[in-house]
Structure 1
Amino acid sequence: MGVFRFLLIAIATLWLAVPLGAAPLSREEIAPLIMPPMSLGEPLNDQGVWQLLNSGGAPAGYVFETKEMAPLPGFSGAAINILVVLDPEGRFLDVKLLSHNEPIFVSGLGEAPFHKFFEQYLGHSISDSMVVGTPYGHGADGGQLVYLDGVTKATASVRIAHETILGAANQVARTFLQGISTGRPAYPDLEVDEALSWQDLLDQGLIGHLPVSNAQVQTLFEGTLWEDDDPVATDEPDALYLDLWVADLGPKSIARTLLDEGTLDELDHFMSISTTDEPILVVDTARHGLVSPEFVRNTSPEWIGMHQDGLPIALRDSDIYTELSDQVPEALRDGTAMILRTDRRLGFDPSREWTMTLQAVRQHGMFQPETGSVDLEITHTTDTRFFVQPDNVERLSPFEEAIRNRQTDLVIAAVFLAVLLPALLFAQSRLAGHRHFQTIRLTALAFVTGFIGWWGQGQLSIVTPMATLQAAISKGSFAFLLYDPFGLLIWGAAILGFVLWGRGLFCGWLCPFGALQEFADRFARLLRLPTIRIPDRIDRPLRGLKYVILAGLVAVTIFAPQHIDKAAEVEPFKTAITTFFLREWYYVAYAALWLVLGLFVFKGFCRYVCPLGALMAIGGLLRGRKWIDRRSECGNPCQLCKVRCQYGAIKKSGAIQYSECFQCLDCVTIHDDPKQCVPLILANRPNRHMPKTEPAE
């Protein structure tokens, strides 16, 4: 118990130290990360949000780090810091990994898969319902969930990174992108296909019309610098300045009525690619002309704007050469027509009223003319029968997403635990005495190695409690524990085992690397290799080594957390289980060394070096009972259990040293077997009394 006291005092002392967080990156550090022709503008706040500038020096979006706004700790205890670049409409222009300390990527899988994961965000919007994993939501275009591929063997770290990005991006959106919607707007119902005529469109208000005369525009400019800058308006006051027609082409029935066959085919092809865009037809038969002489196709028209609910809606030319159908009056067919598009994910709901604004522009002066404008507005609504109101498919919480994506694995592991735990708790003696007990145990260990370890990635590691310690010291979030429900299930079983058996449940039954070492010993016995028994005078101090290593890891976690991933490599778990030996040769050699040593020294790593085993032994102090039966003859005169115990967990007195017990049940088998237990053998001789068992408390 002296080692335990030493470690607890060390932890309490180190608890007083609080690591300092890193400051946001400077302009000199961030500017080179911005892809040309964009450049870094001025800082917008003290949380690392910067303005993004385009090639002309105009505002073009936002640049920010995630660690200031969403410092969600990863499995190393440190936050994952990501550089995010958003355009004004909330689309991801760039997502770059800046820094992290996730053990699986630092020295396991390598950083390439992590960097590749972030490439999936490009082109998506913060309005998208993005999740990591497999589909669980249903919806149609513009409302469906967007699924990002995770990274095998690093699902939890990837989920933490994803939530970090969303958390920071949403903060920026609430502050700087108030027009961005996270709702799921209506979208055209492709099942609605009505035969409509031009007159039907007029009668049902499916096409809007705004005629504006020269006199009306002149009135709007009266009293301004530009009052006398349009002689046509004063010479022909009754003539039309603007004869605007607008219609939503999303509904198939309306589009087929207004467009000729060639344009309709081109629009269908465009919509099959741009599934979240809503096409808007605008036609002008007067002299306004819709766009300026400088307009470039497939860009945003500077004279046309749109808003809904008081918020601006981004418009862009669809670059479709537009011809109207023969049903449309000839005057419209001779006018200027174009199809604009807006993204429903950015807040536009085509089933509700919206307003389009056109600027009437005048210039004053010749050499450096001053430009003035007035707005001409038309409000339009398309009947709701042409649209589908999507069901509210909401994102599950990160924990629920993780559970759903691992549900099969979780069910299988839960069934295994539901059989194992009651068998050890209520049928321990029957299990240990079963004639096929060793086969049953080896089968369980094979399942733990193959399914829980290699397949399920449920190898517990000292990294998790060290990250928990760091989060506690820095008063950070413990949410990272929820991103790996499979590991959390194994942790739950191990902690329950503390109360019922001490460290033995995990170390003896649920540790994949421990199981590998036991298989190494079995293989050595088949080869008849010699077993090295460590003398007691050396064995005792060696057992204390794992507590010293644990204390060292605690110190590194607090004083140098950036090095915890390297320090935790004292565990070969990541090499042997997580990456299945697919790492640099020196990591593989280190893990192989322990397995080779296990051929001669029974589970040497577990007994002498494992810091997680040391932590499990400390957790085993919660054990509330002595669960292994003993007899008064155990230890004096009988030493059979002590001699047979390969863990050295039985004292000369016959008492069980539960902090070193791996729950192999070999001593239980001996204790209950009248052919092995010496007191029972002696008692079965003539004129002998049956020895009395001292039951476990």
Structure 2
Amino acid sequence: MELLALQSARAGTLSRDEIQRRFGVPYQVEEKLTDVPAWPVTSSLEKEVGPVAYAFESIDIAPLPGFEGSPMNFLITIDRKGNFMGVEILQQREPVFTFRDLGGLGDTPLREFIAQYAGKSINQPFVIALDAARNHTGMTANRGTHATLDGISKATTSVRIIHQTVLTSALEVARARLGFADRTKRGPPGKPLPEVFERPSFAQMLDRGMVGRLRLSNRDVEKLFAGTEGANADEEALAHPDELYVDLYVAYLNAPTIGRAILGDEQYQAAMERNFDNRHLWWIASAGRFRIVDDDFTPGTQSPRVAMAQDGGFLDFRDQGFDPVGIAGAPELNSSRLFGVAADANIDPAQALDIVLTVTRAKGMILPTLTHQQVKLAYQPPSQLFVYPPKPLPEWLLAWKSRWPDLAIISLSLLMLSVVLAKPRWISVNPRRLRNFRLAFLAYTLGYLGWYAQGQLSIVQITGAVKTLKSGLGFSAYLYDPVSLLLIGFTLVSFIAWGRGTFCGWLCPFGALQEFIGLVARKLRFPQLNIRPKLAKRLEWGRYAVLAALLLAAFFAPEVGVSLNEVEPFKTSITVAFNRGWPYVAYALLLLAAGAFYYKFFCRFICPLGAVMSLGGKLRRPDWLTRRSECGKPCQRCKVVCNYDAIEPSGEIRYDACFQCLDCVGVFHDAQRCVPVMLYEKKGKVLVPKVQGA
């Protein structure tokens, strides 16, 4: 019970309708995605562009524990450019944000803090500082290259967790849907090996890429500001263009071979003992005129001058309050500090990342105009210092593995059915044997394949394919339903071998339910409705009309199409086993009642999926249901026993209407039931069969 409670506590709480109420017109919240737990949001004003935003709950993506141990939950919305549209608190138990009369600040400061995300971009580095809007750097919410947030003085730890939660969740969705580089495609992140392989010198580490370096002269920096208001604003740079402006160094310390060589054993041990939450640590140092922190820098915060980005997104790159000294072999440094990124920040330290420097110039004495330019140092430590866990299987393959028992059972049943249909004589020549086998297989189809394994194919899969083609998206989502995909594959093959009746007559759970209802009704002597063959054939066109309407709706009016798809009662009767609202249940029961008075009423006159199957059956190659030249001329025995009216008076079989019950096959091969054979035997003659078809 405790485990269930924990799992439920870490699941999103909002429904699609609740998200929709937050957006309103002209926005439409679509179905939740399968590859990332987010709702795409489209606009009726921009239908052709696809989703204009994505809404998601942070607890579904980054359930980071708060200060008191349980994760907070936020509803986050980003637009298609990666800008935050809003952040809303859904759940939090942080002590600092409890009611004032309980000693907390109340949740007003929290709501004010998260409101600051609106309009900011995940493509920017964030800086959280107290009274940041009046920070002397001038990096306000509307100026500069940084996104600056005002912190909460008495909630420093909680604010950090909130920011990490919001940023990690947004980056995950951006990587999945907005074209940001997706780290997960490379597999799990590399883990630094705990061994120390050697003691390289500082110069050797530079040569081998263990330490990254960026060296800029005054002339290089002046080129950055060319054409901006910051050009020619640095008199010293103009006077001494070839002198050093910045010499920047970076090294990943969690790899002991690098960390111990940079810090020495004593400082390395001290740094790692303080790193109780297993953060990724980097040594950042600078020489020259530029410093990575200024005199007013507050230890433990982000520096507005240095940031870290990977895969197109900036990370919460925070000073660790540790100033290494005595770096052997390094030049004279003006700043030397440790910066860290949380272990759960979705970063791969073994892959390339960028250290981004922000250089600021001021023009004017009173209310100066600030100009910011960024320069990047690309850094990737040597791969031999890391171990790489095996790449996880794709989610769709995990779905297949989790359902292998069902797939095995279904595959065996499909193999059995294939053998029966390929060699139908033995099973069908004995009426009792055929009846028992058919009823048992239909019971399996209804109970196991339908209600248990959820293998009911549906017109929704067809209309969904239409929507997918229209949107230009791939069909990868179908891989996540292995049972349906197996049945679809088998049905496509069966079209060529036997026609439409393989699915409709043997593998459709609702069809099986209808057949049982019809058999029971006949057993109870319910009056059966007789429809003239010509009228029945015309009524059969109804399913094609329904199919056409659903396909047109899926293409031109998808929202209407979702409602029209309910003409098919499969979801009500099979998927949820009648556990649904009364109008849907009443409709399904009405169709089943109609089947009690006219055999398989829905299948024959309404079913749009049956229309698809009939069209697919046009691919059938052999006429595998054998006939004699005497069939229909004059013998009508098979036509009389066919419950589906699939045999013409001429003896010809209408494969579009045939459900492959095999009754006619049994009559054909049974000398005690086939009238032409019986007549010839009475005359002492041997009937030479003239078989029509295969």
TM-score in terms of structure 2 length: 0.60
**Within-5 A mapping of 1:349-428:** 367-368=366-367, 385-388=384-387, 393=391, 409-425=406-422, 427-428=423-424
Letter of the 2:339 partner, please give it: L
Letter of the 1:568 partner, please give it: N
C-alpha deviation, 1:432, in angstroms:
0.7
Paired with 1:475 and 1:314, the residues of 2 have a C-alpha distance of 31
Partner of 2:484: 487
- Deviation sequence 1:573-611 (CA, Å, 0-9, x none): 122223332322211222223334444433222223223
Letter of the 2:426 partner, please give it: R
**Within-5 A mapping of 1:144-163:** none
Q: Structure 1 residue 602 and structure 2 residue 599: aligned?
A: yes
Instruction: Select 2:46's aligned residue among 19, 24, 39.
Output: 24
Paired with 1:415 and 1:364, the residues of 2 have a C-alpha distance of 79
2:190, 2:348 within 8 Å by CA — same for their partners in 1?
no
Aligned residues: 541
Q: Structure 1 residue 192 and structure 2 residue 187: aligned?
A: no
Secondary structure in 2 matching 1:269 = coil
Change in 2 beyond 3 A, CA 1:194/1:259: farther
Partner of 2:503: 506
| Uncovered stretches (5+) of structure 1, i.e. residues with no partner | 1-20, 42-47, 64-87, 90-118, 129-164, 234-239, 272-277
Change in 2 beyond 3 A, CA 1:546/1:120: farther
1:245, 1:283 within 8 Å by CA — same for their partners in 2?
yes
Change in 2 beyond 3 A, CA 1:60/1:449: same
Q: Structure 1 residue 266 and structure 2 residue 274: aligned?
A: yes
Partner of 1:301: 303
Q: Structure 1 residue 320 and structure 2 residue 314: aligned?
A: no
C-alpha deviation, 1:378, in angstroms:
9.3
- Deviation sequence 1:350-407 (CA, Å, 0-9, x none): 5879878586x7878765456699999999885654334677x5986x9878766766
**Within-5 A mapping of 1:7-46:** 23-24=45-46
| Uncovered stretches (5+) of structure 2, i.e. residues with no partner | 1-42, 58-73, 86-114, 125-144, 147-165, 226-230
Paired with 2:82 and 2:354, the residues of 1 have a C-alpha distance of 32
Change in 2 beyond 3 A, CA 1:586/1:211: closer
Partner of 1:249: 253
Secondary structure in 1 matching 2:172 = coil
1:263, 1:321 within 8 Å by CA — same for their partners in 2?
no
Change in 2 beyond 3 A, CA 1:638/1:410: same
Paired with 2:594 and 2:196, the residues of 1 have a C-alpha distance of 75
Paired with 1:381 and 1:282, the residues of 2 have a C-alpha distance of 14
1:305, 1:313 within 8 Å by CA — same for their partners in 2?
no
Secondary structure in 2 matching 1:270 = coil
Partner of 1:77: none
Q: Structure 1 residue 439 and structure 2 residue 486: aligned?
A: no
2:302, 2:319 within 8 Å by CA — same for their partners in 1?
no
Partner of 1:453: 450
Paired with 1:315 and 1:621, the residues of 2 have a C-alpha distance of 57
C-alpha deviation, 1:510, in angstroms:
1.9
Q: Structure 1 residue 554 and structure 2 residue 548: aligned?
A: yes
Secondary structure in 1 matching 2:660 = coil
C-alpha deviation, 1:249, in angstroms:
1.3
Paired with 1:443 and 1:362, the residues of 2 have a C-alpha distance of 82
Change in 2 beyond 3 A, CA 1:648/1:191: same
Partner of 1:541: 535
Instruction: Select 1:695's aligned residue among 669, 680, 691.
Output: 691
1:37, 1:55 within 8 Å by CA — same for their partners in 2?
no
Letter of the 2:507 partner, please give it: L
Partner of 2:614: 617
**Within-5 A mapping of 1:577-592:** 577-592=574-589
Secondary structure in 2 matching 1:574 = helix
Which is worse superposed, 605-614 or 403-412? 403-412
**Within-5 A mapping of 1:331-346:** 338-341=337-340
C-alpha deviation, 1:551, in angstroms:
1.7
Secondary structure in 2 matching 1:281 = strand
| RMSD of equivalent CA atoms | 5.8
Change in 2 beyond 3 A, CA 1:38/1:576: closer
Q: Structure 1 residue 291 and structure 2 residue 293: aligned?
A: yes
Paired with 1:605 and 1:375, the residues of 2 have a C-alpha distance of 67
Secondary structure in 1 matching 2:338 = strand
Partner of 2:283: 281
**Within-5 A mapping of 1:174-193:** 187-193=190-196
- Deviation sequence 1:79-120 (CA, Å, 0-9, x none): xxxxxxxxx99xxxxxxxxxxxxxxxxxxxxxxxxxxxxx99
Paired with 1:454 and 1:693, the residues of 2 have a C-alpha distance of 44
Change in 2 beyond 3 A, CA 1:323/1:419: same
Change in 2 beyond 3 A, CA 1:486/1:503: same
Higher relative contact order (CA 8 A, sep 6+): 1
1:127, 1:180 within 8 Å by CA — same for their partners in 2?
no
C-alpha deviation, 1:663, in angstroms:
1.0
Secondary structure in 1 matching 2:121 = strand
Secondary structure in 2 matching 1:280 = strand
TM-score in terms of structure 1 length: 0.60
Letter of the 2:429 partner, please give it: G
Paired with 2:252 and 2:383, the residues of 1 have a C-alpha distance of 12
Paired with 2:259 and 2:363, the residues of 1 have a C-alpha distance of 41
Partner of 1:156: none
C-alpha deviation, 1:193, in angstroms:
4.0
Partner of 1:96: none
C-alpha deviation, 1:445, in angstroms:
2.0
2:468, 2:475 within 8 Å by CA — same for their partners in 1?
no
Q: Percent identity?
A: 30
**Within-5 A mapping of 1:64-79:** none
Paired with 2:374 and 2:474, the residues of 1 have a C-alpha distance of 53
